[in-house]
Amino acid sequence: MSVVIELPPQRNQIAFNEKRWGEIMSDSEIAELEQRIETDRFGHVIMSPYAGGWHGAMEMRIGILLENKLGGGTPVAECPISTSDGVKLADVGWYSANRFEEVKESLAFPIAPEICIEVLSPSNSPAEMEMKRRLYHEAGCLEFWTCDQGGTVLFLDAENGKALSQSRICPDFPDSISI
């Protein structure tokens, strides 16, 4: 037996997410926590353990590579995206200059970056990544990438989850990176 959970349309959730994310970001007790913070569609805080130094280093490496290869856009680490299931953080997002101009004043971005990248941790499951791919696509993401602990990058079409031989947006991005 399978269960289907209907989420509200993302556009209906944006104002709530922005308000709740603002409350969370201004909470001094939450600011002191070392965990990664996201929310669910009800505004409940979801905390994950810090993934470690290698994770942050990989995020930076990806952001630098994107900036060097694409230019003219903005890479964002720990990118807060307003989704129909709350605010989710893409490890790295890449926005074109025009799209970033539309969202840069928001606390939780109402439009996802064109590229959303998740640096995989041992605690990440395939089901979690599939859920994030769908949520990010619903918010406007075009490509969803994952980078495993060995540095292998998998490029996916955000709409249907099909593997791409290379990124359509950044065709020169390597399929393997190291830090």
The chain-wide mean pLDDT, for the chain, equals 92
Structural domain includes residue 155: yes
Burial of 132 by CB count in 10 Å (0-12 exposed, 13-18 middle, 19+ buried)?
buried
Kind and range of the H or E element at 15?
Answer: helix 10-25
Identify whether 68 is part of a domain.
yes
pLDDT tens, position by position, 72-84:
899 999 999 999 9
In terms of Cβ atoms closer than 10 Å to its own Cβ (0-12, 13-18, 19+), residue 59 is: buried
Sequence letter at residue 120 = L
- Containing 29, the helix (H) or strand (E) segment is helix 28-31
Owning domain of residue 24? 10-164
Task: Provide the domain count of the chain.
Answer: 1
Does 144 reside within a domain?
Answer: yes
AA identity, residue 65: L
**Cβ(110)–Cβ(14) below 8 Å:** yes
Asked if residue 115 belongs to a domain, the reply is yes
Please check whether residue 176 lies inside any domain of the structure. no
| Helix (H/G/I), strand (E/B), else coil: 118 | strand
d(CA 171, CA 118): 18
Give a yes or no: residue 143 inside a domain. Answer: yes
pLDDT digits (tens, 9 = 90+) for 37-49: 899 999 999 988 7
Lowest mean pLDDT among 87-96, 122-131, 162-171: 122-131
**Burial, 109: exposed, middle or buried (Cβ in 10 Å; 0-12, 13-18, 19+)?**
buried
The answer on pLDDT for 5 being more than 80 is no
**Residue 3: per-residue pLDDT:** 56
Say if residue 53's pLDDT is above 90: no
> Model's pTM, two decimal places?
0.91
Whether residue 136 lies inside any domain: the answer is yes
Q: Which CATH number do you get for residue 64?
A: 3.90.1570.10
Token couple for 133:
């791919």
Report if residue 1 sits inside a domain: no
